[in-house]
Amino acid sequence: MKKIVYAAIGFFLLTGTVLADSENEATFKIMDTDEDGKVTLEEFQAFYKEVFKKKDKNGDGVLDEEEFANPDAFEFTDKNKDGKIDPAEDEALRAHHFKKLDQNGDQHLTLDEWVE
């Protein structure tokens, strides 16, 4: 399972493009670790913790603007304005992102919510 997760993360990071429907579905299935057809915030955060680790090319435990690779979101995410995204800041961003995706506010993402 870990190899699949790393492969999906690697693809996402290397392409930097919007995922096609089948790739969105594959990513959703990877996040849905209990295979119940819904992704909880905990599952969502676990997936993105692995993404964070992969993006941290120099292994210093934080992401600089180049590693983060999204200049539009960097300033929003860097809450303490130290020029780095630490794991807590990234986790806060992901919680914000999850909340926006969870259209009906039921604390779960469905595949439909994920692909929209």
| Whether pLDDT at 1 is above 80 | no
User: What is the torsion angle, in degrees rounded to the nearest 10, for the CA atoms of residue 9, residue 28, residue 79 and residue 70?
Assistant: 50
3-state secondary structure of 9: helix
The two tokens of residue 20 are: 């096609």
- Is the distance from CB of 31 to CB of 45 less than 8 angstroms? no
What is the distance between the alpha carbons of residues 96 and 44, in angstroms, rounded to a whole number?
Answer: 11
Segment 30-68, tens digit of pLDDT:
999 999 999 999 999 999 999 999 999 999 999 999 999
- Provide the CB-side half-sphere exposure for 101 (13 A, CA): 22
Closest CA to 63 of 37, 89, 39: 89
At residue 116, the pLDDT reads 85
- Write down the pTM of the prediction: 0.79
Beta partners for residue 109, in sequence order? 39
Q: What is the set of domains in the chain, with CATH numbers?
A: 2-115 (1.10.238.10)
